[in-house]
Amino acid sequence: MSRYKKSEDYLERALKTIPLGSQTFSKSMTHLPYGASPFFIQKGEGAYVWDLDGNKYIDFVCGLLSVSLGYNDPDVNTAVEKQLKQGVSFSLPHPIEAELAEKIVDMVPCAEMVRFGKNGSDATSGAIRIARAYTGRDHVATCGYHGWQDWYIGSTTRNLGVPKCVQDLTHTFKYNDLASLEAIFDKHPGQVAAVIMEPMNVEFPKDGFLEKVKALAHKNGAVLIFDEVITGFRFAKGGAQEYFGVIPDLACMGKGMANGFPISVVMGRKDLMKLMEDIFFSFTFGGEAVSLAAALATITKIDQLPVIDKVRANGEIIYSEVKKKLKKYKLQDCIDICGFPSWTSFKFKDSFYSKWYYKTMFMKFMMESGVMTVGSNNISYAHSQEDIEKLLVVYDGFFSLCSELIQKGTFEDYLDIPLMKPLFSVR
Ligand SMILES: Cc1ncc(COP(=O)(O)O)c(C=O)c1O
């Protein structure tokens, strides 16, 4: 019987009432190999999760990087319980809004004023609206992933349902390729409101790329927005802008800022943020107090304890050990690891076999070995040295198997499930 029998049965049930059986595309069956993966998680504790069948995993997905301290963090839970007793959503703002705003203004270099949202997409869409209001322009240059809203997703292959006229306003440039951004300004002179980018995802900035993007955006009268939904409170206390020393006009954070509670933030220069008094950025749950309390507790912990350093140090070990192992097993042509230590990703390449063999086999092997993954190392403060060592033992087993199967030429034998399929990719 399948190790994932209950998950598979439950997926069948969920699919009857929920398209794809999931609220989040990247947690859905589209991202998981059927027959070799669970589809539902029942509970989490620290760095561990249990699926519906009771299988235990060290989790290196961490709620898509939202669980930054670990599941069931006692300090966050205490703050949440206290707030829950006072109330969740009120008829006027709760004072904790201003307390959290002040904490963020203290910690993040670009933040002079802030507004809160629920998802990262709220924050990025709010920032784009500010930039458009400020410049009186419509076009936007983007680099990375910025959420589900029309203005951004229209520029990707997942653009079904987005009007063409909206798609035409968003232009993508390549990371570490200033010429690709220059080309957008040349093609749309005086029309670009904003340059929005992840300050880093899979590649480190080269040759002062971030400084050059900032100068180019400003030379052309565009607002520079850093999408720090992932990098915020992860690369450094003040995000990637602090780490790389390049301060944008506006920034967006979300994901790990409340250890899994739904909250995001758009922040930046006062003159720009003041436009929020007139543009419409308003929703019923904007000041929902439990998530505000969770955020304040999480950010305070990140500020006071060595969260950033521990996560980065563990990530550095993973990165350097994986590099060594790939060399040892002569797999550098097939698999690589890239990114910032606290958020690295595997890159599977077409070499000997299609990259989809490697990806599918990786997912199957990891899940079987008790490692919850989507192909990246999303580290939380709860991961211990021992967890990292366990992970590396599993990676070693996977690399060893790959090398053996490549030598024997019997890769297909290991896979008794259909190959995973190419998905929309923006990084
Ligand atoms: C860099 C970045 N920006 C924006 C978003 C959108 O955030 P959300 O999914 O919370 O709307 C994401 C989500 O993955 C992200 O990684």
Location of structure tokens 């979300």: 254
| Atom of ligand 1 minimally distant from the CA of 148 | 11
The beta-strand segments (E) located in 239-322 are: 250-253, 264-268
The answer to whether 142 and 230 have CB atoms below 8 angstroms apart is no
Structure confidence at residue 10 (pLDDT): 98
> What mean pLDDT do residues 366-385 have?
98
Give the percent of the chain with pLDDT over 90.
Answer: 96
Whether pLDDT at 267 is above 90: yes
Q: How confident is the model at residue 423 (pLDDT cuts 50, 70, 90)?
A: confident
Record the tokens describing residue 340, joined without a space. Answer: 């910032």
> What mean pLDDT do residues 13-19 have?
98
Distance separating alpha carbons of residues 423 and 74, to the nearest angstrom: 37
Which residue of 148, 150, 255, 374 sits with most ligand 1 atoms within 8 Å of its CB, as the best mutation to test the pocket? 255
pLDDT in tens, 35-87: 999 999 999 999 999 999 999 999 999 999 999 999 999 999 999 999 999 99
Structure confidence at residue 126 (pLDDT): 98
Strand order in the sheet with 264-268: 113-117, 264-268, 250-253, 223-227, 192-197, 139-143, 170-172
User: Hey, whose CA ends up nearest to atom 4 of ligand 1?
Assistant: 146
Structure confidence at residue 410 (pLDDT): 81
Half-sphere exposure of 281 (CA within 13 A, CB side): 28
Residue 120 CA to ligand 1 center (angstroms) comes to: 5
User: Hey, whose CA ends up nearest to atom 14 of ligand 1?
Assistant: 147
| Atom of ligand 1 minimally distant from the CA of 119 | 10
The structure's pTM equals 0.97
Residue 424 CA to ligand 1 center (angstroms) comes to: 15
- Regarding the domain delimited by 5-71+307-414, which CATH topology (the fold level of the hierarchy) does it fall under? Aspartate Aminotransferase, domain 1 (3.90.1150)
Position with higher pLDDT, 382 vs 416: 382
Residue 254 CA to ligand 1 center (angstroms) comes to: 8
| Atom of ligand 1 minimally distant from the CA of 264 | 10
Which residue of 26, 150, 230, 425 sits with most ligand 1 atoms within 8 Å of its CB, as the best mutation to test the pocket? 230
What mean pLDDT value characterizes the chain?
97
Whether pLDDT at 121 is above 90: yes
Distance separating alpha carbons of residues 307 and 298, to the nearest angstrom: 10
Strand order in the sheet with 343-348: 335-340, 343-348, 376-378
Which residues are near ligand 1 (CB < 6 Å)?
119-121, 124, 144-147, 198, 227, 229-230, 254
Residue 324 CA to ligand 1 center (angstroms) comes to: 32
- Count of beta carbons in the 10 Å neighbourhood of residue 296: 22
Domain ranges of the chain: 5-71+307-414, 89-287
State the CATH class of domain 89-287.
alpha beta
> What mean pLDDT do residues 88-104 have?
98
Q: How confident is the model at residue 415 (pLDDT cuts 50, 70, 90)?
A: confident
Structure confidence at residue 413 (pLDDT): 80
Structure confidence at residue 171 (pLDDT): 98
Whether pLDDT at 412 is above 90: no
Location of structure tokens 């980065």: 312
Closest CA to 359 of 338, 392, 334, 342: 334
| Atom of ligand 1 minimally distant from the CA of 147 | 6
Q: Say whether 198 sits in a helix, a strand or coil.
A: coil
The beta-strand segments (E) located in 254-386 are: 264-268, 335-340, 343-348, 371-372, 376-378
Instruction: Enumerate the β-bridge partners of residue 57.
Output: 49
Structure confidence at residue 123 (pLDDT): 98
Residue 35 CA to ligand 1 center (angstroms) comes to: 28
Distance separating alpha carbons of residues 261 and 275, to the nearest angstrom: 27
Residue 119 CA to ligand 1 center (angstroms) comes to: 7
Task: Classify the C-alpha dihedral 22-24-29-30 as positive or negative.
Answer: positive
Closest CA to 253 of 225, 292, 224, 227: 227
The answer to whether 216 and 185 have CB atoms below 8 angstroms apart is yes
Q: What is the DSSP letter of 158?
A: -
User: Hey, whose CA ends up nearest to atom 8 of ligand 1?
Assistant: 120
Distance separating alpha carbons of residues 230 and 235, to the nearest angstrom: 9
pLDDT in tens, 205-228: 999 999 999 999 999 999 999 999
Integer CA distances (angstroms), 80 to 93, 290, 291, in order = 17, 6, 8
| Atom of ligand 1 minimally distant from the CA of 66 | 10
| Atom of ligand 1 minimally distant from the CA of 254 | 10
Helix (H) or strand (E) holding 397: helix 385-408
- Count of beta carbons in the 10 Å neighbourhood of residue 269: 18
Closest CA to 212 of 197, 202, 231: 197
Distance separating alpha carbons of residues 231 and 254, to the nearest angstrom: 9
Distance separating alpha carbons of residues 8 and 1, to the nearest angstrom: 11
